[in-house]
Structure 1
Amino acid sequence: MSYSAVDEYEESKFLRKAKENPFVPIGMAGFFGIVAYRLLKLKQRGNMKMSVHLIHMRVAAQGFVVGAMTLGVVYSMYKDFVLKPAEAQKALEQKAVEKK
């Protein structure tokens, strides 16, 4: 197997996983965005200690990731427990109409 085939496999695997769980890439993007923003604001922190600034950055980034994960779980539960039963009920009703 060549390196290009391995890269293509890994890329398609990532894209497939991202489509299955869209909140993971959103959480990753938010994490890196918050870290980049806070690192740019590092010089403008005033008299705040470096450790406090870094702690605030970590908490903000973690909070975004946890929020994205929570939304992902809620969305997944909605799909599994609300949409799928409704589709199954609709399919049963359609079968009943076809039998008549």
Structure 2
Amino acid sequence: MSTGTDVPLSSSDEDQGSKLIRKAKEVPFVPIGTAGFAAIVAYGSYKLKSRGNTKMSLHLPNPHAAQGFVVGTMTLGVGYSMYQEFWAKPKP
């Protein structure tokens, strides 16, 4: 029996790629946070590689920026979902 939506009835019907795409559409802040975290860590690793003749301890990758980006993205996601749930809902 078809429900009229394109969401499968059971999760065993879809493969990992389509499940990931569906979840990313439902909660877009998760892939944004993950991509930002990866970009900041990659940039820190690149800067560590091209540090020159200075001491290693001065150029260790600082994970606080990446953690801050992820926490900020999570905060925006929670705020957005609260907005959708309480303020943007049409009144009956």
TM over 0.5: yes
Instruction: Give the Cα–Cα distance (whole angstroms) in 2 for the partners of residues 16 and 49 of structure 1.
Output: 43
Q: Of 51, 57, 73, which residue of structure 2 is paired with 1:50?
A: 57
Paired residues of 1:45 and 1:53 also in contact (CA < 8 A): no
Corresponding pairs, count: 79
Paired residues of 2:51 and 2:59 also in contact (CA < 8 A): no
- 4+ residue segments displaced more than 3 Å: 43-52
2:5 is aligned to none
Correspondence 1:37 to 2:46: no
RMSD: 2.1
Gaps of 5+ in 2: 1-11
More helix per residue: 1
What is the TM-score of this pair, normalised by structure 2? 0.74
Correspondence 1:81 to 2:86: yes
What is the TM-score of this pair, normalised by structure 1? 0.68
Q: Of 66, 71, 84, which residue of structure 1 is paired with 2:71?
A: 66
Q: Of 2, 21, 25, which residue of structure 2 is paired with 1:15?
A: 21
